């Protein structure tokens, strides 16, 4: 039956996360952005909430309640607080989800317990490449077989690199397949350089140079002839789409509230159609984008190929998040341009969706 109502449990989870996002992420957002640093207490608090562990397999200490729809609801709420901190909070999913979905029993046993229980973030994922035509499905980074090893060559960027990273899953092209390789953070030939971007400044990001990085045969995710990882990209897009909806909703609500408070010509500016209609369009676009994200997430939960739905969702969100954030800056006028208020931060963050890929996974 076609239905748009989250379950009671999902509503409860979303409500809890919303509270957390409002009281902690939003409160810390500006300071974290200025300092370009994720406050460690946020990560600890998120760990206590069990946001990532909730969906991971029970046998390794997770909650066993995997659902991309729930993941999308959680991601939206977190990003409603702050995108950079949301990405930091969700970062353990970057290695945990691929290992849970595609890992060999040995890889699961070696990595999942720590990913689930650790207070830091022991693993991450490298998908994006520093090129205008960075292609998640067909990376330029290559993996070639040499005896009993794989040799990786290439470059990655936008890799979340929180404290404690010991493994990075590098997506590369092996023969003509999309494959993942578990690379220790101290592997010879791997150079990790911190990066700074226009937005999501509080999230530690790194550029990776892989210069003949050699890993053993069993470092390929899923085993020697590991599975095609294309399905992973859709999980990233759905997660990002939900995050983008959260950013847009934050921008919309700020603009709406400001428009009701700010007076011009003797009345709140929200009473002018030029402003009111802009806000109406924002609300409509946000709801439409959210439903696209939900549909793609639902498709993933059915075990179906969600490539198309995820592509439509992220396509829509790239536009909507940017337009709504820009609209918020515009509604705030000069105040939207100064760093005393949040719209400028939201605009910088929203632009990122144009190049983000797999910065979180549902």
> Minimum CB separation from another protein for residue 287, in Å?
6
Buried b (16+ CB within 10 A) or exposed e, 311-343: ebbbebbbebbbbbbbbbbebbeeebeeeebbb
Assess contact for 63 and 234: CB atoms under 8 A: no
| H/E run at residue 154 | strand 149-160
Assess contact for 182 and 215: CB atoms under 8 A: yes
Whose CA is closest to 110, among 246, 186, 219?
219
> Minimum CB separation from another protein for residue 254, in Å?
13
For residues 59 and 305, which CB has a smaller minimum distance to another protein in the complex? 305
For residues 1 and 196, which CB has a smaller minimum distance to another protein in the complex? 1
For residues 18 and 278, which CB has a smaller minimum distance to another protein in the complex? 278
Tell me the HSE value of 336 on the side-chain side, using a 13 A CA sphere.
Answer: 22
> Minimum CB separation from another protein for residue 9, in Å?
10
> Minimum CB separation from another protein for residue 160, in Å?
20
In this structure, what DSSP letter does residue 24 have?
I
For residues 101 and 301, which CB has a smaller minimum distance to another protein in the complex? 301
> Minimum CB separation from another protein for residue 12, in Å?
14
Binding footprint of another protein on the chain (CB under 8 A): 1-7, 10, 69, 132-137, 230, 233, 256, 259-260, 270-271, 273, 276-277, 279-281, 283-285, 287-289, 291-292, 294-295, 298-299, 302, 307-308, 311-313, 315-316, 318, 354
> Minimum CB separation from another protein for residue 315, in Å?
5
Assess contact for 215 and 149: CB atoms under 8 A: yes
- What is the CB neighbour count within 10 angstroms for residue 111? 23
Give the CA distances from residue 216 to residues 151, 171, 180, in Å, rounded to whole numbers and listed in that order.
Answer: 9, 16, 13
In this structure, what DSSP letter does residue 220 have?
B
For residues 110 and 291, which CB has a smaller minimum distance to another protein in the complex? 291
For residues 178 and 208, which CB has a smaller minimum distance to another protein in the complex? 178
């Amino acid at each position: 039956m076609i239905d748009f109502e989250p379950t009671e449990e999902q509503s409860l989870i979303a409500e809890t996360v919303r509270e957390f996002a409002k009281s902690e992420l939003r409160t810390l957002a500006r300071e974290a952005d200025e300092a370009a640093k994720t406050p460690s207490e946020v990560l600890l608090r998120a760990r206590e909430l069990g946001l990532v562990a909730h969906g991971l397999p029970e046998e390794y200490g997770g909650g066993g309640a995997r659902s991309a729809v729930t993941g999308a609801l959680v991601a939206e709420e977190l990003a409603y607080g702050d995108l950079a901190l949301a990405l930091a909070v969700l970062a353990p999913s970057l290695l945990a989800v691929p290992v849970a979905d595609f890992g060999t029993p040995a890889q699961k046993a070696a990595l999942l317990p720590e990913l689930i229980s650790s207070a830091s973030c022991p693993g991450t994922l490298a998908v994006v490449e520093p090129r205008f035509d960075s292609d998640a499905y067909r990376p330029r980074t290559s993996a070639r077989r040499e005896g009993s090893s794989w040799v990786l060559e290439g470059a990655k960027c936008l890799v979340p690199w929180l404290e404690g990273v010991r493994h990075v899953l590098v997506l590369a092209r092996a023969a003509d397949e999309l494959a993942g390789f578990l690379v220790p953070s101290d592997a010879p030939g791997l150079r990790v350089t911190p990066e700074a971007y226009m937005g999501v400044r509080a999230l530690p990001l790194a550029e990776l140079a892989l210069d003949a990085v050699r890993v053993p045969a069993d470092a390929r995710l899923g085993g020697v002839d590991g599975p095609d990882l294309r399905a992973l990209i859709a999980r990233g897009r759905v997660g990002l789409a939900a995050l983008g909806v959260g950013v847009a909703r934050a921008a919309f609500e700020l603009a709406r509230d400001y428009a009701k408070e700010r007076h011009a010509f003797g009345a709140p500016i929200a009473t002018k159609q030029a402003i009111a209609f802009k806000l109406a369009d924002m609300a409509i676009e946000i709801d439409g984008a959210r439903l696209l994200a939900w549909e793609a997430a639902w498709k993933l939960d059915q075990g179906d190929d969600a490539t198309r739905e995820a592509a439509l969702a992220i396509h829509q969100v790239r536009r909507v998040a940017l337009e709504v954030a820009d609209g918020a800056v515009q509604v705030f006028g000069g105040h939207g341009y100064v760093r005393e208020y949040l719209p400028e931060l939201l605009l910088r963050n929203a632009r990122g969706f144009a190049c983000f890929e797999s910065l979180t996974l549902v």
